[in-house]
Amino acid sequence: MKIVRKQYKFCYSCMKEHEVSYVQIEQHVKYLNDWVRYDAIYEYCGETDCLSEDTKMLGENDTAMKDAYRKQKGLMTSTEIKALRKQYQISQAELASILGWGAKTITRYETYQVQDAAHDNILKRLQQDPQWFMELLAKRQDVMAHRRYMKYYNAACEMCSKQKNRYTEKMMHTLYLEKQVNKMDAGNTNLDIDKVEEMLNYIASKEVAALYLLKMSKLLWYADCLHYKRNQQSITGLAYRMHQLGVMPIGYEYLTTLSGVNCVDQEVGDGISHLFLSVEKFVPKHLTQQEVQCIDQVVERFQSISNQELSEKMTRESAVQNTQLNEIVSYEYADSLSIA
């Protein structure tokens, strides 16, 4: 028996007011022909040495038992089903309707009833495949208020974007492992794809001239280095290496694949270049005020010059002068960055 908290209250075991302990006890019960272990919470009265549970505790303990059973069977727990609904910003009844289930089905699964394997597979697919949810949603568009339809549609679109970005993040992490990039190589910061995306969009919102991938890469490096110079941490967790075209993020080719970035292909000479454009009504959510200040200072310094001029300025930086081709550009040179 483990005490999790105490509260002074009226105790129904001894019918007196005193400090009552809330205790956690491991239970071992049989449910649907399987033995299940789970932790239950009870009130404990030291006066009578009795355990008790009110109606709320009874429901919570029942859910804990059934969630333990779900885990044993590889089913989604009630908490996971609630989180799924939250991702789509949809009510219990509306989700059940879209799936063609009874109106109270999702409510039951989130409280007292364990779903069968067939329904569980459908819920798991929704969790992994927002595109499928959008297809189901489209079939209900004519019988649903437009405002609600757009709310669920936009939530599904955001999930699609996050999944795409998580894939990009996974690919970059794999590349970092191949290149043996350590945390210090990335500016003492873990790679943060959300901040990478926001930094790309924030720079693009500043109407920087000819903002192709090469120039964007250099501005990213300057901003990361400036923030490291001031705080001993980069903004994004990107690692950079000396490329034939100058300092470039490792995995720079993935930057254009981020779902929230407005990047278009343009013919330049005999090849194709990636041009970053501003995103309408962009407002950063993940960047801190201090990080934004560093980016602003870099953009103000370089926004009007060409990529060639920027490359020439970079060749005078200590980090560039002391790094061989294909080597990782160390943040240890940030102290000597030309931007104060």
User: For domain 78-155, which CATH number applies: 1.10.287, 1.10.260, 3.30.70, 1.10.1740?
Assistant: 1.10.260
The domain segmentation of the chain, as residue ranges, is 2-73, 78-155, 183-336
Contact 139, 165 (CB under 8 A): no
Whole-number Å distance between alpha carbons of 304 and 207: 9
- Which pLDDT score, from 0 to 100, does residue 270 have? 66
Question: What pLDDT does 119 receive?
Answer: 97
Per-residue pLDDT of the chain (340 residues; tens, 9 = 90+): 899 999 999 998 999 999 999 999 999 999 999 999 999 999 999 999 999 999 999 999 999 999 999 999 999 999 999 999 999 999 999 999 999 999 999 999 999 999 999 999 999 999 989 999 999 999 999 889 999 999 999 999 888 888 888 888 888 999 999 889 999 999 999 999 999 999 999 999 998 888 999 999 999 999 999 999 999 999 999 999 999 888 999 999 999 988 888 989 887 766 778 999 998 888 899 999 999 999 999 999 998 888 889 999 999 999 999 999 999 999 999 999 999 8
pTM of the model: 0.67
Residue 207 phi/psi, 5° resolution? 55, 50
